[in-house]
């Protein structure tokens, strides 16, 4: 009897603690979104709903430029990383060779090195070989950062791919190339989408690598926001940040639906 | 479509130290239905996949019709394959799955549509054209797999345990349907299974495989009634063995004394040696009788255990000489049997088979 | 061969055509590996090389093989105390608090089932994919002088004037912990999932109560995950630079931030390079010591 009361008490405390912590996790995000729609901005009490901050934010050239740069970087690094990662995943899943385990660790290595050092190393090295300060510099940094994720996700989706689908295509008269394009790639589509999206969103939100590699002409959105809020602190920045959050949430929901967030993320933490 | 002959000549395949298929030779006649029957790891699927070209043999030669295909890629072989898991392409509708092969073959749109229609009506799938595989039941998926294979219009059909993922009831229905279809189309068929009932009921000939070799290749009745060795005998059904001495009485009869002294008169067959031999009989070939029944090939027995199986009862019994026997009693038999009953058993003279 | 075998991966031609799968694999992995070597390994080696350079007139790099940069950092008590010791202290404290907070969340999420589980899990993990800048911004709104938190405590009468949280150590701690929680929850979730419910039922059947089950079964079985989380998080926190850069001050010079400032604000690349080498060395040393201790006292029991 007393035992069950105690149990209930413990359970209730655990629930309360967890919800308090979940609140702690989401309060800052909620506050930002709230401010971005509040017509009195930071001032309380709230004065009503407005889209004014968004209008103002997206009429500012530095943010538009930031979005452009970040989109280019996100799309570019997602495409490049997947193009490089796919043959590696194919080799890891379908071939046995010496040094396979080593290769696996090697392609994950960007996750093992602190971003501070990757940023510094790329900055120093690319400047040294005369590649400093352009779009390519940023793109290289972002590709390095997202390659491990692409390899992880593509390897996972290749390893659950049923090889008999390819055999059936071959039996139906398809050449290897035909079976690859008509069967293998379409069946792996969701894996590719998940991989592309996660690469994109990591690049889209990156701060640590970008701040080392950005130049005044090529400034990704997060760096643009950072330099803005250093000097000017207004509801307009809340609107920009909220826009970024909305895109991230959209991506998270899509990734979660098609591939499972925990599966993708924890595989990388498994290292 | 008319079937073509398949010839395997000394086909071998090893993986490291493991010999999957060892020097296998076999000819499947045009239009014939041959099953590879055996436990897992016996090499039956490996052989089938080598015929299909998914695996290349280490040595030997393989012909379909008069064309040597040993090392030809799978898309250059005149055969179609039905996979155990069906391998339906998940991103294509039923019609697209079936039409993929004909399209690759360069058929006109009208011909492709006709192939799809014909395949669907042959497999009773009409109306499901635009469904995706995930929207179909297991049985329907199985039919689509068959329809897709048939729509290729090939001369040889290979099937890798195509019914093993279905419920028992559906499996029994489907094997009759598949067999009828095969007979109607007269397509040469090689069928892999580990289910002896399936192999016996569908095949013209059954190849029982063991450790990469054919242990026996014969018509189903022969495989079941007169298996050449213990492996085949016990793989296709229940069995009782008798070691003893055989002596010929005249041109049609022989006399057998088992090690434990039980005596049997048995039908004399060609090429049967005299001396020490091993005989077998199936549980359902033994007849149980009540009471003091005496006569030829009849001996007393005590019932140890009864398993009720619905259509029949499986009785374990011991003779006076201490021999354990497995006897299957069909339910038409009105006799009630109980554990401990002292009965007699009878084995007809033609129901004791010589085995190596 | 060629393209065919690249895709197929299986032996597709007879054995007497001697095949070279090694060549095919090399072709497949070559582009990615090349890119990684060129833009990961070479730059990292280059950092090590540059750390041995001399600097003339403040920041101009002069190729050399000297230990000047290392000596400058390690012989300066200010760096040792206000940077190295501070980083060690901050990262240990923040990691410890993060783990304490993350553990109950992970346990709670792992217990939930069905849709609730799905939603909770997505909520907890989502901050991992929401950018750091976005998360920091929300905290600035809360922590700044006239922000929500200060307004609240003044209204409640705890203080008379706003206290300094932002651009100071408290904000650095809060954000390190905040960003770390989802990481640790994620590593723990895997471990919680792997605990068979029958293990707990068996313990309950043996007469163990709630706390007893937790202490004797759940905690030991999740220790490997906890340990992995601690390792990753400590390494992240120790080298953190973005958080102290955005919400810290001149008094929150974590070692990663010093690397960043030396390189990007003061332009002293050799010095930044040397500090980053030192940073990795210290971080590795602490992780090795930590692992040894864990192994010695806890993990041997689990055969980890």
**Nearest-angstrom CA–CA distance, C191 and B151:** 50
Contact C132/A at CB under 8 A: yes
Tell me the average pLDDT of chain A.
88
Is ipTM > 0.85 here? yes
Give chain B's mean pLDDT: 92
* Chain A interface includes B15 (CB < 8 A): no
Asked if the model's pLDDT at residue B292 lies above 80, the reply is: no
Q: Which residues of C touch B (CB under 8 A)?
A: 4, 10-15
Using the beta-carbon criterion (under 8 Å), do A212 and C260 form an inter-chain contact?
A: yes
Contact between A206 and C131 using a beta-carbon 8 Å cutoff: yes
Shared-domain flag, residues A86 and A218? yes
Assess whether pLDDT exceeds 80 at residue C12.
no
Confidence class of residue B1 from pLDDT cuts 50, 70 and 90?
Answer: low
* CA atoms B137, B139, B141, B143: torsion sign: negative
What backbone torsions phi and psi does residue A265 show, to the nearest 5 degrees? -75, -40
Whole-number Å distance between alpha carbons of A19 and B340: 70
SS3 B209: strand
My answer on whether A46 and A84 are in the same domain is no
Residue given tokens 């509708």 in the structure block: B93
The pLDDT, as a whole number, for residue A268 is: 43
Work out the pLDDT band at C17, boundaries 50, 70, 90.
Answer: very low
Give the pLDDT mean for A171-199.
94
Cβ distance of A25 and C124 shorter than 8 Å: yes
Helix (H, G, I), strand (E, B) or coil at B213: strand
Question: Quick one: pLDDT at residue A75?
Answer: 97
Parent domain of A237: 60-269
Write the DSSP string, B148-204: HHHHT--SEEEEESTTTTS-HHHHHHHHHHHHHHHHHHT-EEEEEES-HHHHHHH-S
Instruction: Number of A to C CB contacts under 8 A, please give it.
Output: 272
As a whole number, mean pLDDT of residues A86-92 equals 95
- How far apart CA A163 and CA C62 sit, in angstroms, is 57
Q: Which residues of C38-50 are buried (b: 16+ CB within 10 A; e: fewer)?
A: ebbeebbebbebb
How high is the pLDDT of residue C149? 87
Q: Could you write out the three-class secondary structure of B224-268? A: HHCCCCHHHHHHCCCCEEEEEEEEECCCCEEEEEECCCCEEEEEC
The rounded distance, in Å, linking the Cα atoms of B150 and B147 is 5
Average pLDDT over residues B183-193: 95
Nearest residue of chain A to residue B87 (CA atoms): A165
Q: Are A168 and A224 in a shared domain? A: yes
Distance from CA of A168 to the nearest CA of B (A): 7
* E strand or H helix that includes residue B145: helix B138-151
Partner C contacted by B70 (CB < 8 A): yes
Query: If you ran DSSP here, which 8-state letter would residue A181 be given?
Result: I
Percentage of chain C lying above the pLDDT 90 cut? 48
Residues C164-183: what's their mean pLDDT?
A: 93
Strands B275-281 and B240-248 turn out to be antiparallel
Tally the domains of chain A. 2
CB contact under 8 A, A25 and C123: yes
What is the structure's pLDDT at A68? 96
Q: Where are the alpha helices (DSSP H) in C75-205?
A: 77-79, 86-111, 114-125, 132-143, 148-155, 169-194, 197-205
pLDDT the model gives residue C10: 44
- Is B70 in Cβ contact with C12 (below 8 Å)? no
CA dist list (Å): B222 to B24, B227, B232, B324:
21, 7, 11, 26
Task: Name the phi and psi angles at B288, rounded to 5.
Answer: -95, 135
Number of Cβ within 10 Å of residue A45's Cβ equals: 6
The single-letter DSSP state of residue C75 is T
Same domain, A5 and A107: no
Does residue A261 or residue C54 have the better pLDDT?
Answer: C54
> At a CB cut-off of 8 Å and minimum separation 6, what does A185 contact?
A192
**Cβ within 8 Å, pair A262-C181:** no
Half-sphere exposure of B88 toward its Cβ, with a 13 Å CA cutoff? 29
**So what's the pLDDT on residue A87?**
96
**What b-and-e string marks burial along B178-203, b requiring 16 or more CB atoms within 10 Å of the CB?**
bbebbeebebbbbbbbbebebbbebb
Pick from A171, A182, A189: which is nearest to B74 by CB? A171
**How much is the average pLDDT of C121-139?**
89
Cβ atoms of B217 and B36 within 8 Å: the answer is no
Residues contacting residue C118 through CB under 8 Å, at least 6 positions apart = none
Q: Give mean pLDDT, residues C140-150.
A: 85
Residues listed for chain A: 271
Tokens 């967030």 belong to which residue?
Answer: A261
The answer to whether the CB atoms of C142 and A27 lie below 8 A apart is yes
Instruction: Check A121 against C46: CB less than 8 A apart.
Output: yes
**What distance in Å separates the CA atoms of residue A179 and residue C7, rounded to the nearest whole number?**
10
A117 by DSSP, 3-state: which? helix
Domain of residue A185, CATH code: 1.10.3720.10
Residue-level pLDDT at A17? 84
Both A14 and A138 in one domain: the answer is no
Contact B276/B245 with Cβ under 8 angstroms?
A: yes
Nearest to C187 among A10, A107, A266 (CB): A266
**Which pair of tokens denotes residue B3?**
């079937």
* pLDDT for residue C13 is more than 60: no
Q: Is the pLDDT of residue A19 over 60?
A: yes
Same domain, A151 and A182: yes
Query: Residue A3: pLDDT band by 50, 70, 90 thresholds?
Result: low
- Segment B290-295 shows an average pLDDT of 74
Judgement on whether residues A5 and A76 belong to the same structural domain of the protein: no
Question: Does the pLDDT at position C2 exceed 50?
Answer: no
> What was the pLDDT predicted at C21?
64
Q: How many CB pairs under 8 A join A and B?
A: 63
Tokens of B33: 């239905």
Instruction: Determine, yes or no, domain membership for A166.
Output: yes
**Which residues does B35 contact at the CB level (< 8 Å), separation at least 6?**
B190, B191, B192, B193, B198, B199, B202, B203, B205, B206, B207
Contact between chains at A27 and C241 (C-beta distance less than 8 A): no
pLDDT in tens, A119-156: 999 999 998 888 877 899 999 999 999 999 999 999 98
Whether residue A167 and residue B52 make contact (CB cut-off 8 A), yes or no, is yes
Could you tell me if A30 and A124 lie in one domain?
no
Instruction: Note whether A211 and A251 are same-domain residues.
Output: yes
Does residue A27 sit in the same domain as residue A65?
Answer: no
Q: Which of C53, C100, C115, C134 to mutate to test the interface with A (most CBs of A within 10 A)?
A: C134
Tell me, yes or no, whether A175 lies in a domain: yes
In terms of domains, do A28 and A161 share one? no
Residues 6+ positions from C231 with CB-CB distance below 8 Å = C287, C290, C291
Contacts of A105 in chain C (CB under 8 A): none
Of B310-314, C101-105, C203-207, C274-278, which gets the smallest average pLDDT?
A: C203-207
Q: Is the predicted pLDDT of residue B50 greater than 50, yes or no?
A: yes
**Per-residue pLDDT, B118:** 94
CATH code: domain B6-235 is 3.40.50.300
Residue C14 has pLDDT above 80, yes or no: no
At residue B161, what are phi and psi to the nearest 5 degrees?
40, 55
User: What percent of chain C is modeled with pLDDT above 70?
Assistant: 91
Mean per-residue pLDDT for A244-257?
87
Boundaries of every domain in chain B: 6-235, 240-355
- Does a structural domain hold residue A55? no
Take residue B18 and report the two structure tokens written for it. Answer: 């493991």
Residues from chain A that touch B157, judged by Cβ atoms under 8 A, are: none
pLDDT band at B162 (very low <50, low <70, confident <90, very high): very high
Is A79 in the same domain as A39?
Answer: no
DSSP assignment, residue B5?
A: -
B277 burial (CB, 10 Å; 0-12 / 13-18 / 19+) is middle
The architecture in CATH of the region B240-355 reads Beta Barrel (2.40)
pLDDT value at residue A22:
85
CA distance B340 to B309: 19
């Amino acid at each position: 009897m007393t035992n069950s009361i105690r149990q209930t008490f413990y359970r209730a405390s655990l629930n309360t603690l967890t919800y308090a912590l979940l609140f702690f996790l989401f309060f800052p995000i909620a506050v930002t979104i709230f401010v971005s729609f509040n017509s009195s901005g930071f001032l309380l009490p709230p004065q009503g709903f407005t889209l004014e901050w968004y209008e103002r934010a997206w009429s500012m050239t530095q943010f538009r430029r930031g979005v452009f740069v970040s989109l280019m970087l996100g799309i570019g690094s997602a495409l490049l990383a997947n193009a490089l990662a796919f043959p590696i995943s194919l080799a890891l899943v379908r071939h046995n060779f010496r040094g396979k385990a080593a290769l696996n660790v090697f392609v994950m290595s960007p996750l093992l090195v602190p971003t501070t050092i990757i940023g510094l190393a790329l900055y120093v090295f690319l400047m040294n070989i005369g590649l400093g300060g352009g779009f390519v510099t940023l793109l290289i940094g972002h590709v390095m950062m997202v390659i491990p994720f692409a390899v992880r996700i593509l390897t996972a989706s290749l390893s659950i791919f049923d090889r008999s689908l390819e055999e059936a295509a071959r039996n139906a008269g398809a050449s290897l190339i035909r079976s690859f394009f008509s069967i293998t790639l379409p069946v792996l589509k969701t894996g590719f989408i998940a991989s592309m999206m996660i690469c994109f969103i990591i690049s889209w939100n990156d701060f640590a690598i970008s701040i080392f590699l950005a130049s005044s002409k090529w400034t990704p959105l997060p760096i643009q926001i950072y330099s803005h809020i250093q000097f000017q602190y207004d509801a307009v920045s809340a609107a920009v940040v909220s826009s970024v959050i909305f895109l991230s949430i959209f991506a998270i929901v899509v990734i979660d639906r098609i591939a499972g967030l925990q599966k993708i993320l924890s595989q990388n933490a498994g290292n | 479509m008319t079937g073509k002959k398949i010839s395997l000549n000394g086909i071998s395949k090893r993986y490291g130290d493991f010999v999957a298929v060892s020097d296998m030779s076999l000819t499947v006649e045009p239009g014939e239905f041959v099953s590879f029957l055996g436990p897992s790891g016996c090499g039956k699927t490996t052989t089938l996949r080598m015929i299909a070209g998914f695996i290349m043999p280490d040595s030997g030669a393989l012909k379909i019709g008069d064309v040597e295909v040993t090392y030809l890629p799978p898309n250059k072989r005149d055969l179609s394959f039905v996979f155990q898991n069906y391998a339906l392409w998940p991103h294509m509708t039923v019609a697209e799955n079936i039409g993929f092969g004909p399209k690759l073959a360069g058929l006109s749109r009208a011909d492709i549509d006709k192939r799809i229609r014909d395949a669907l009506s042959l497999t009773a799938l009409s109306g499901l054209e635009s469904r995706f595989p995930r929207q179909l039941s297991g049985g329907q998926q199985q039919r689509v797999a068959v329809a897709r294979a048939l729509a290729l219009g090939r001369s040889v059909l290979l099937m890798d345990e195509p019914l093993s993922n279905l419920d028992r009831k559906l499996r029994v229905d489907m094997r009759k349907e598949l067999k009828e279809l095969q007979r109607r189309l007269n397509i040469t068929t090689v069928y892999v299974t580990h289910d002896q009932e399936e192999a016996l009921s569908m095949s013209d000939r059954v190849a029982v495989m063991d450790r990469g070799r054919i242990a026996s290749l014969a018509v189903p009745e022969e495989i079941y009634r007169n298996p050449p060795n213990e492996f085949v005998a016990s793989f296709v059904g229940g069995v009782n063995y008798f070691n003893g001495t055989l002596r010929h009485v005249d041109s049609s009869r022989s006399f057998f004394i088992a090690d434990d002294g039980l005596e049997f008169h048995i039908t004399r067959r060609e090429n049967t040696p005299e001396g020490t031999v091993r005989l077998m009989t199936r549980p359902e070939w033994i007849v149980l009788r009540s009471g003091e029944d005496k006569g030829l090939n009849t001996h007393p027995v005590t019932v140890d255990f009864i398993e009720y199986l619905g259509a029949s009862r499986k009785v374990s019994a011991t003779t006076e000489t201490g021999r354990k026997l497995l006897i299957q009693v069909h339910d038409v038999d009105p006799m009630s049997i109980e554990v401990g009953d002292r009965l007699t058993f009878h084995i007809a003279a033609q129901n004791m088979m010589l085995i190596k | 061969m060629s393209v065919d075998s690249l895709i197929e991966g299986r032996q597709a031609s007879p054995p007497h055509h001697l095949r070279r799968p090694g060549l095919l694999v090399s072709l497949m992995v070559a582009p990615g590996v090349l890119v990684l070597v060129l833009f990961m390994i070479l730059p990292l080696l280059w950092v090590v090389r540059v750390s041995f350079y001399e600097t003339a007139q403040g920041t101009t790099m002069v190729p050399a093989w000297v230990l000047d940069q290392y000596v400058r950092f390690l012989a300066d008590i200010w760096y040792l105390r206000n940077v190295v010791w501070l980083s060690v202290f901050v990262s240990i404290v923040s990691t410890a608090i993060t783990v304490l907070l993350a553990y109950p969340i992970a346990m709670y999420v792992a217990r939930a089932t069905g849709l609730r589980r799905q939603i909770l899990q997505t909520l907890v993990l989502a901050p991992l994919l929401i950018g750091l800048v976005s998360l920091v911004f929300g905290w600035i709104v809360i922590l700044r002088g006239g922000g929500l938190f200060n307004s609240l405590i003044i209204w409640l009468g705890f203080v008379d004037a706003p206290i300094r949280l932002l651009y100071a150590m408290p904000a650095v701690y809060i954000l390190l912990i905040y960003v770390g929680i989802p990481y640790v929850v994620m590593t723990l979730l895997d471990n919680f999932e792997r605990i068979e419910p029958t293990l707990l039922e068996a313990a309950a059947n043996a007469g163990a109560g709630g706390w007893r089950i937790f202490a004797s079964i759940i905690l030991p079985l999740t220790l490997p995950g906890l340990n992995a989380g601690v390792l990753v998080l400590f390494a992240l926190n120790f080298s953190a630079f973005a958080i102290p850069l955005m919400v810290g001050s001149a008094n929150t010079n974590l070692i990663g931030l010093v690397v960043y400032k030396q390189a990007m604000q003061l332009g002293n690349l050799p010095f930044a390079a040397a500090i980053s080498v030192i940073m990795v060395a210290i971080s590795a040393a602490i992780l090795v010591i930590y692992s040894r201790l864990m192994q010695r006292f806890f993990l041997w029991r689990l055969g980890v």
